Amino acid sequence: MSLTSGEAGPEDSRGSERTAGTPPSNVTFNRLELNRILNLYGRMVADGEWRDYAIDFLKDKAVFSIFRRASEVPLYRIEKDPRLARKQGAYSVVSAGGLILRRGHDLDRVLLAIDRKLALV
Q: What is the pLDDT of residues 50-74, one digit of tens each?
A: 899 999 998 999 999 999 877 778 9
State residue 104 phi and psi, 5-degree precision.
Answer: -175, -175
- In terms of residue numbers, what domain contains 53? 31-119
Structure confidence by residue, pLDDT tens digits, 72-110: 789 999 999 988 888 988 999 999 888 999 999 999 999
The residue with greater pLDDT, 100 or 8, is 100
- 89 part of a folded domain: yes
- 48 part of a folded domain: yes
pTM: 0.73
Which whole number is the average pLDDT over 27-56?
Answer: 91
How many structural domains is the chain composed of?
Answer: 1
- 54 part of a folded domain: yes
Which whole number is the average pLDDT over 20-34?
Answer: 78
The residues, ordered by sequence, that sit 6+ positions from 100 with a Cβ below 8 Å of its Cβ are 92, 93, 94
Longest Cα–Cα distance of the chain, Å, equals 61
- 75 part of a folded domain: yes
- 14 part of a folded domain: no
Pairwise CA distance, residues 54 & 107, whole Å? 18
- 95 part of a folded domain: yes
- 22 part of a folded domain: no
State residue 16 phi and psi, 5-degree precision.
Answer: -75, 115
* Residue of 74, 108, 112, 119 lying closest to 94 (CA atoms): 74
Contact (CB, 8 A) for 65 and 74: yes
